[in-house]
Homo-oligomer: A and B are copies of this chain.
Amino acid sequence: MELNSYLEQQKALIDKSLDNILNQTDTVPSPIHEAMRYSVFAGGKRLRPILFIAACDAVGGNSEEILPVACALELIHTYSLIHDDLPAMDDDNLRRGKPTNHIVFGEAVAILAGDGLLTYAFEIMFKLGLKTKKPEKLFQAGLEIARGAGTQGMIGGQVIDILSENQKIDEKTLLYIHNHKTGSLITGAIKAGAILGEGSKKQIECLTRYGDNIGLAFQITDDLLDVQGDESKIGKPVGSDDKNQKATFPNIYGIESSKKMAREAIQNAEESLEMFGEEADPLRLLARYLLIRES
């Protein structure tokens, strides 16, 4: 299996599904649907949906019928980016090389577009519930996703991140921020995929460990790209975390130690997949990709 073609193929699948899902909301003339589409199609890698699908496939599930949940994950991720970029939060004008949502549509519409994406994500899941044959699995998966996105997950991390700006923070707080801000929804996506694929308790445990580790590696490489990346590839100025006095892995551990931590996390992630056969090859590829990505 070749990484790039796999990623492209999965991204195309998800983009098509997102396009369908977001077209259905365009019945009322209002700039909000335009604003929602703008950020959803602003060049995301679709990492969370791809991991979700790969986890479902790894336990032998049928990922085709749960594509709406994959889309819901991307909507939740996108809402969080729109709100993170707001003037009252990180105050970012650029995201993936494009003007952020509030720069294009104004602050009020950006806030509401985020709210709309979050609400719509759950609407999609309830709608899938009307035709699912496994309602209890969908409730479980929905719960994992909501928890991953909530105040004890992603939002919790963002709160502490915002409140720690311009302050000297310790390792524990840095890890708390990143485990929650980025890690929780990634792990939630992977668990949800494994649950909907009807994985065993043991399989779900291993995939949760995989998720925790790639979440960590993802965040470390993100911080490293901010220091050493190629601006044309990451779509924002190098050094923007420094400008915001953000807590980052390179700031606390230095560049070399951060790289080593990322490698170790990926190794742990790969070891978590030992019980799986070739169905988990996409997850193995994705782990390698997170280590070498340039954007």
Contacts and interface: CB of A to CB of B under 8 A. Distances in A.
A20 interface: no
A103 interface: no
Contact of A115 (B33, B108, B155): B155
Contacts of A28: 151-152, 156
Which secondary structure dominates where chain A touches chain B? helix
Given A36-B151, A142-B129, A115 B83 contact: yes
Given A32-B155, A122-B122, A135-B135, A143 B130 contact: yes
Given A30-B159, A111-B111, A119-B149, A135 B126 contact: no
Interface string A112-123: 101110111011
A3 interface: no
A130 B126 contact: no
A136 B129 CA distance: 7
Interface string A18-34: 00000001011011110
A78 to B, nearest CB: 13
A107 interface: yes
A140 interface: yes
A107 B107 CA distance: 12
A131 to B, nearest CB: 9
Nearest to A132: B139
Nearest to A123: B146
Interface of A: 25, 27-28, 30-33, 36, 79, 83, 86, 88-89, 106-109, 111-112, 114-116, 118-120, 122-123, 126-127, 129-130, 135-136, 138-140, 142-143, 146-147, 149-152, 155-156, 158-160, 162-163
Given A31-B159, A88-B111, A119-B151, A139 B146 contact: no
Contacts of A139: 126-127, 129-130, 135
B135 A30 contact: no
A108 B88 contact: yes
11 contacts: A25-B152, A28-B151, A28-B156, A83-B115, A108-B159, A108-B162, A112-B162, A120-B150, A123-B143, A129-B139, A135-B135
A135 B89 CA distance: 38
A223 to B, nearest CB: 21
